[in-house]
């Protein structure tokens, strides 16, 4: 399975865009990139996923580089409630393997 690399932690000012990077240099052509987040003591929450095109929904945007070796999750206007651990996952078949993620702290 393709491995992902994320920075362990990031800070973001409230109201500003939060850009969370993820490297997945060994990704295969049929593997999707998924993003989840986990707020303390809760189950992970689905955010967005994509294959090769950029995606946007009501929560976030996902930008995938043309070579698909990295991606960026963008929260356009971060709020205090966006403080969480964000996981970037490369999915192959049924496998969703969680790495350590990025702990995002949104600061007032």
Partner 1 sequence: GAVVSQHPSRVICKSGTSVKIECRSLDFQATTMFWYRQFPKQSLMLMATSNEGSKATYEQGVEKDKFLINHASLTLSTLTVTSAHPEDSSFYICSALITGPGELFFGEGSRLTVL
Nearest to partner 1 of 13, 51 (CB atom)? 51
Q: Do 15 and 80 contact (CB within 8 A), yes or no?
A: no
Nearest to partner 1 of 72, 96 (CB atom)? 96
Q: Which residues of the chain form contacts with partner 1 (CB under 8 A)?
A: 32, 34, 36, 38, 41-46, 49, 51, 87, 94, 96-101
What is the number of other CB atoms lying within 10 angstroms of the CB of residue 89? 23
Nearest to partner 1 of 70, 102 (CB atom)? 102
Shortest CB 4 distance to partner 1, Å = 11
């Amino acid at each position: 399975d393709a491995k992902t690399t994320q920075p362990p932690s990031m800070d973001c000012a409230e109201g500003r865009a939060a850009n969370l990077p993820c490297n997945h240099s060994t990704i295969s052509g049929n593997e999707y990139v998924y993003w989840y987040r986990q707020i303390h003591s809760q189950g992970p929450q689905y955010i967005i996923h994509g294959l090769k095109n950029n995606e946007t929904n009501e929560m976030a945007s996902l930008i995938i580089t043309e070579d698909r070796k990295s991606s960026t999750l963008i929260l356009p206007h971060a709020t205090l409630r966006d403080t969480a651990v964000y996981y970037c996952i490369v999915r192959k078949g049924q496998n969703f393997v969680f790495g350590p993620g990025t702990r995002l702290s949104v600061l007032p």
